[in-house]
Amino acid sequence: MVARLWWVRHGPTHQKTFTGWRDVPADLSDAAALDRLDAYLPRDAVVVSSDLVRASATADRISGTRRRLPDTDQLREFDFGAWDGLNHDDVASRDPVLSRAFWDNPGDVAAPEGESFFDVARRVSAVVERLAAEHPGADLIAVAHMGVILGHIGAAAGIGFRQALTHRIDPLSVTRLDRVGAGWSLETVNHIA
């Protein structure tokens, strides 16, 4: 099984709206920040990424000599459905009760035509466990999205989605979980190299 899981949030997109499955690019112009991130991550790790361009391009930039696995749609951000591309005020006006419940009671609440925290956690946990089994003893760097990282640490570290939402996950930050028996221990959240 994978020994350590290094979640990396993709580079900034400068979006001010819900950005789920819309394929918007990352701003990777901060070469110094990317170089520090690359230097911080383990050299012999295996790298995997969401198939959305903002994550995939970030993974390409930090892969270097590390083994790069194919991108996977299983690491995509939340599918925000009808909310994708809308700002928070527009979502709150459109669906006031539902949008409040999405953040206040995360779990099985989903945006119209979108995914819930439970949906994302199941999807992401399945691919993480598959990759962990396929790369025993390796460090795994997974380049993905804020919602994916929060959903996984909420479920895998056993802290719950509401507590997970209290964590900040900045662009180009690292959140690390270590394998403990059959589960995961949350070691680092939102580290900026």
- Under 8 Å between Cβ of 160 and 150: no
Report which residue type is found at 112.
Answer: P
10 is catalytic: yes
Indicate which residue of 77, 135, 145, 152 is catalytic: 77
113 is catalytic: no
Question: DSSP letters of 107-161?
Answer: SS-B-TTS-BHHHHHHHHHHHHHHHHHHSTT-EEEEEE-HHHHHHHHHHHSSS-H
What is the Cα–Cα distance from 93 to 72, expressed in whole angstroms?
Answer: 34
How big is the chain by its Cα radius of gyration, in Å? 16
Indicate which residue of 10, 135, 145, 152 is catalytic: 10
Tokens 């990424």, located at residue: 49
Active-site positions read 10, 77
